[in-house]
Amino acid sequence: MSMNFSKAGKLLLTTGLLVVLAQGLWQLPELQDYLFPHRQLTAPFQPARKEYQKIQDHLTLLQERVDYLQWSLPHNGQVRRVSIDRMLAFPFSESIRPLFPGYFWHMNIYLAKREQLYVERKLNYVDALLNYLASRTQAQSSLQDTQRLPQRPGEISLWRQIQELQRQWVADNSKLNDLSKKLTWLANHGFKN
């Protein structure tokens, strides 16, 4: 009876070791690059897309802050009629603006600069990630060219998506630069205590 347990134990040990060996081989980056080159390229692309959506949201918030500061600038802290859309966009600011115009101005400048810094950091991160993906994709395609292998449709699609995000990055970076100039001007020429 103990012989059967011994044989079963050896068989389970051998099977377990073979499973661990197979999983280890499967996780090798060289094997993954060889078997699934497109998957290895698209893995870093998904975080770039998610980060880019956050960038779009925060860039919109920055645009709203700068527009709001420009809206309130000509009156320099004087009480101005509050519209419903402004009240919905910035309820706290609109409730204290008539009471503390200096605090209102400096708080909104601070919040706008915080959004500006966030967008700058995320744009730098996405730029580095897109440059990495572009270099990996070009290296992969040049390797296929030397081996006379045709490009796969997924790789062509990935390259187009990377180029599209790079064009969008250039547009958003110029928009951020314009908003930064406006914000700097507003901070220097705005409400003075």
At 188, which amino acid appears? N
Q: What are residue 174's phi and psi, to 5 degrees?
A: -70, -35
Using the predicted structure, report yes or no on whether residue 77 has a pLDDT greater than 60.
no
Band (34; pLDDT cuts 50, 70, 90)? confident
Give the pLDDT of residue 110: 92
69-75's contacts with Cβ under 8 Å and 24+ in sequence apart are: 69/105, 69/108, 69/109, 69/112, 69/183, 69/186, 69/190, 70/182, 70/186, 72/97, 72/104, 72/105, 73/186, 73/189, 73/190
Using the predicted structure, report yes or no on whether residue 6 has a pLDDT greater than 50.
yes
**pTM of this prediction?**
0.64
The pair of three-digit structure tokens given for residue 105, joined into one six-digit string:
């101005």
Using the predicted structure, report yes or no on whether residue 96 has a pLDDT greater than 70.
no
Give the pLDDT of residue 153: 47
CA atoms within 13 A on the CB side of 120: 10
Band (4; pLDDT cuts 50, 70, 90)? confident
Alpha helices in the chain (DSSP H): 2-26, 29-35, 37-42, 45-72, 84-89, 91-96, 101-146, 153-189
